[in-house]
Structure 1
Amino acid sequence: MVVGDASLNIDTLVIGAGPGGYVAAIRAAQLGQSVLIVDKSELGGVCLNRGCIPSKALISAAHQYESALHGEAFGISAENVKVDFSKTQEFKNGVVKKMTGGVAGLLKGNKVEVFNGECMFINENEARVFNDHESPRYKFKNAIIATGSRPIELKPFPFGGRILSSTEALNLPEVPKSMIVIGGGYIGAELGQMYSKFGAKVTIIEGLDTVLPGFDKDMTSLVAKNMKKTGIEIVTGAKAESAEQTDKDVTVKYSVNGESKEVTADYLLVTVGRRPNTDGELGLDMIGVDVDERGFVKVDHQGRTSIPHIFAIGDIVSGLALAHKASYEGKVAAEAIAGQPSVVDYKCMPAVVFTDPECSSVGYTEKEAKEKGYKVKAGKFPYAGNGRAVSLNHAEGFVKIVADEESGLVLGCQIVGLEASNLIAELGLAIEMGATLEDLALTIHAHPTLGEIVMEAAELVMGHPIHIISR
């Protein structure tokens, strides 16, 4: 590596090695560009190291524990079922290590140069990357900014001690006896339910009238029902006001309808959203990249910023903070740099929450479709009518399909139930390819599988369901 002021030349500089950045770097390299990717932390970003992957590893472990405790329906009982949470954490860390190692191998295999350190723009075509040992300068033809986001920290609840962000919550050395969660969105719901399954007494404090705001209430009501089964107390319409912590616990004061209340627990987890990483020493303001009042970079349909050869993707641009959204935008940006006519199209962007039961959605909801001017027909087929779901003892949930009444064109789908995260992919493909209800109904689904629910839902909306009485 060259040290000092002599500049190195590359085609594309990628800042951030999360699911947006590393995918963009690989795609750019595949298209013949010389690529440098810079990240001050680990390859894989928040998703692989402190978010999606470690949380799902712990959630999977919690499901295993719950299954071991409650096998009565299958005639199975077990005694002295215990959790060695240190080994659970070892499992989680092993999953993370395997995945991040895979990213390193992919970058190397695609001849992407990796620099572990920070990056600062000097001007529109030059940046300095630096760490404790070196600080080379690079001249670039194009840049892709993918610096991600971080948990929002509220002034009354500063992170530290027994007040946790999601990062610390994923690395507790043992299962706490109790936990308070401020924020009932997808992170708070997932982690709160996970620790509840491991035996913690969990209280969720949410400002709106339901957990998982953004999903249909007939979906979230099933999640709330299951939460309450494991002893989670859900307080909605609440305003969290302050917290006091000792070396043993933390007490949160909050109010509901003007009435003051308080709750004490071992830990407080604050999950009220994420903030884009566009501040700091990156130097976007210095080179004139336009950023809105919330810190999001303004981009066009290809991810171009106000400086045409500098792109921005992922959590630092507007829209849902989703890893797969970042990866998709990364591919579009890399292809745009290569001169391809790629543009972003979010109509088939799925949203998934790994609660119990899982929730997923793609395309329009029934309400959204009507607001767009469609004459809509929609219907829900229950998991209870599916042999595979019943045999798995997971008969709660439904698949709802939204379609255009005249053409039968599939406009959207919402799923709540076992494996909703996997089932939604078929509906995403259906919307992407312009499939109709008839296309779904005529696609033969293997029996007995959960996938049959999609076919049955399509037949229901068409008016001739087989395994449910049409009303």
Structure 2
Amino acid sequence: MVVGDASIDIDTLVVGAGPGGYVAAIRAAQLGQKVVIADKSELGGVCLNRGCIPSKALISAAHAYETAKHPDAFGITTEGVKVDFKKTQEFKNGVVSQMTRGVGGLMKKNKIEVFNGEVMFINESEARLFNDHESPRYRFKHCILATGSRPIELKPFPFTGRILSSTEALQLDEIPGSLIVIGGGYIGAELGQMFSKFGTKVTIIEGMDSILAGFDKEITRLVAKNMEKTGVEIVTNAKAESAEQTDKNVTVKYSVNGENKEVTADYLLVTVGRRPNTDGELGLDLAGVELTDRGMVVVDHQGRTSNPKIFAIGDIVPGLALAHKASYEGKVAAEAIAGLPSVVDYKGMPAVCFTDPEISSVGYTEKEAKEKGINVKSGKFPFAGNGRAVSLNHSEGFIKLVANADNNVVIGAQIVGLEASNLIAELGLAIEMGATLEDISLTVHAHPTLGEIVMETAELVEGHPIHM
């Protein structure tokens, strides 16, 4: 019972209910901690409600639409294929609602108290939680910060009217006739290609010399080629300078190698990165939490901040902004609080982009390994040599393996092709357990499956390929 403004004592306060926060809360509860989780928005965070899940639902719908329009290779003829985008959005919203309810069920099952509202730290071990109805004060033994990130808004391109962030783009109730995308990273590439499959004329303006700069160029070239097939115009080495909008369209002025250009479209989508949610009225200074000059939280190998009672995970700590990275870090932090020797190890952390074809990567690229002085052996096997890929009419792409030539231990893998997002898991496990090429090649893979390509690639790098 709380008397007056007295603090409620709890074991662990989790701030943020995204894929990092709610996973951390569950693991903490499993380890016997009394947990309160607070978020001003929905359970599941940006990823579940306004990012990963809704975008993949729309991407799946776009794939289905494109396949229905072009089934000729299978001898199927269709006429009058149409898309009712409002119903497509209903499907997406249904997926999100189902998953959000699932997270709520997990909170209840693990006896985690959920508070829908803001958090403001009072000192190094207390925080005020508040909304329109209540403002309880908690004294915690430990706290896990998982406040996530938000789209970066550039001054020349404020999110208003026809200038959109990814959040607004995922909520459109119509398929744009045309769309400009500033930023060719994974969000811009995924959403740009998705809309192009629905029939939108898409122009991507990218400042680097290629899209998807975080991935090996060897695999992104195939994605760019495929995007151009569906009418996506990719402008690289470009600097977007200004935008003017009316009630019907928006015009972007940009330059390429000193030459001024402009393009007009129904909407402008700005995807130039995300900013950590460590500012505002959170009060991290009162909590004694140190930040970098970019607003990232400084943490150790267990996620512990400069305040030993407070841990931080996900998009607000250095490293890639990945939902699965946040979940992993959340489990490590909860276990560290419980006294377990858990530490973060990003050696087997995969990165995935749901373009068409999909791309994924884990461990070192060949270039990175050589730069670290590792004696490397590598090789790639094409999807075109795999019976399952050919029978699915998706024979483009390849799997590349990178191994230490001194001991044949697998240290990296890159995939571009159908189901790359799923295939990378086996190679992440291989790297995590220190598997050799022989360990993979001697593992019998069912036929005919895409997974056989992993085995075939290992055999190729060993020097005795069967189907190559």
- TM-score norm. by structure 1 comes to 0.99
Specify the code of the residue in structure 2 equivalent to 1:6. A
Separation (CA, whole Å) in 1 of partners of 2:360 and 2:216: 10
Secondary structure of 1:86's partner?
helix
Separation (CA, whole Å) in 2 of partners of 1:218 and 1:361: 12
Q: Deviations over 1:176-211 (max 9, x none)?
A: 000000000000000000000000000000000111
Separation (CA, whole Å) in 2 of partners of 1:39 and 1:364: 36
Contact 1:13–1:35 (Cα < 8 Å) also in 2: yes
Q: Give 1:234 shift.
A: 0.3
Aligned residue for 2:457?
Answer: 457
Aligned residue for 1:355?
Answer: 355
Q: Deviations over 1:241-298 (max 9, x none)?
A: 0000000000000000000000000000000000000001110012221000000000
Separation (CA, whole Å) in 1 of partners of 2:214 and 2:144: 30
The runs of 4+ residues in structure 1 deviating greater than 6 Å are none
Q: Deviations over 1:345-381 (max 9, x none)?
A: 0010000000000000000000111122210000000
Secondary structure of 1:287's partner?
coil
Secondary structure of 2:380's partner?
strand
Q: Between the two proteins, what is the percent identity of the paired residues?
A: 82
**1:110-125 to 2 correspondences below 5 Å:** 110-125=110-125
Q: Give 1:3 shift.
A: 7.9
Q: Deviations over 1:66-124 (max 9, x none)?
A: 00000011111211100100000000000000001000000110000000000011111
Contact 1:146–1:314 (Cα < 8 Å) also in 2: yes
Aligned residue for 1:27?
Answer: 27
Contact 2:359–2:421 (Cα < 8 Å) also in 1: yes
Secondary structure of 1:106's partner?
helix
Secondary structure of 1:138's partner?
strand
Aligned residue for 2:226?
Answer: 226
* Alignment pair present for 1:205 and 2:237: no
Aligned residue for 1:426?
Answer: 426
* Alignment pair present for 1:414 and 2:404: no
Q: Deviations over 1:160-190 (max 9, x none)?
A: 1000000000000110000000000000000
Secondary structure of 1:210's partner?
coil
Separation (CA, whole Å) in 2 of partners of 1:163 and 1:59: 21
Specify the code of the residue in structure 1 equivalent to 2:362. V
Specify the code of the residue in structure 2 equivalent to 1:10. I
Secondary structure of 2:390's partner?
helix
**1:129-168 to 2 correspondences below 5 Å:** 129-168=129-168
Q: Give 1:16 shift.
A: 0.1
Specify the code of the residue in structure 1 equivalent to 2:327. S
- TM-score norm. by structure 2 comes to 0.99
Specify the code of the residue in structure 1 equivalent to 2:356. D
Contact 1:4–1:135 (Cα < 8 Å) also in 2: no
Separation (CA, whole Å) in 1 of partners of 2:409 and 2:305: 35
Instruction: Identify unmatched segments of 5+ residues in structure 1.
Output: none
Separation (CA, whole Å) in 2 of partners of 1:93 and 1:132: 27
Superposition RMSD on alpha carbons, in Å?
0.8
Instruction: Identify unmatched segments of 5+ residues in structure 2.
Output: none
Separation (CA, whole Å) in 2 of partners of 1:50 and 1:185: 17
Q: Give 1:2 shift.
A: 4.8
**1:431-450 to 2 correspondences below 5 Å:** 431-450=431-450
Contact 2:196–2:232 (Cα < 8 Å) also in 1: yes
Secondary structure of 1:465's partner?
coil
Q: Give 1:425 shift.
A: 0.1
Contact 2:125–2:287 (Cα < 8 Å) also in 1: no
* Alignment pair present for 1:92 and 2:105: no
Q: Deviations over 1:26-85 (max 9, x none)?
A: 000000000000000000000000000000000000000000000011111211100100
Secondary structure of 1:327's partner?
helix
Contact 2:27–2:334 (Cα < 8 Å) also in 1: yes
Separation (CA, whole Å) in 1 of partners of 2:411 and 2:305: 31
Specify the code of the residue in structure 2 equivalent to 1:102. G
Specify the code of the residue in structure 2 equivalent to 1:281. E
Specify the code of the residue in structure 2 equivalent to 1:96. V
Contact 1:3–1:135 (Cα < 8 Å) also in 2: no
Contact 1:4–1:137 (Cα < 8 Å) also in 2: no
Aligned residue for 2:365?
Answer: 365
Aligned residue for 1:194?
Answer: 194
Change (3 A) 1:264 1:59: same
Which stretch of structure 1 is more off in the superposition, 262-271 or 369-378? 369-378
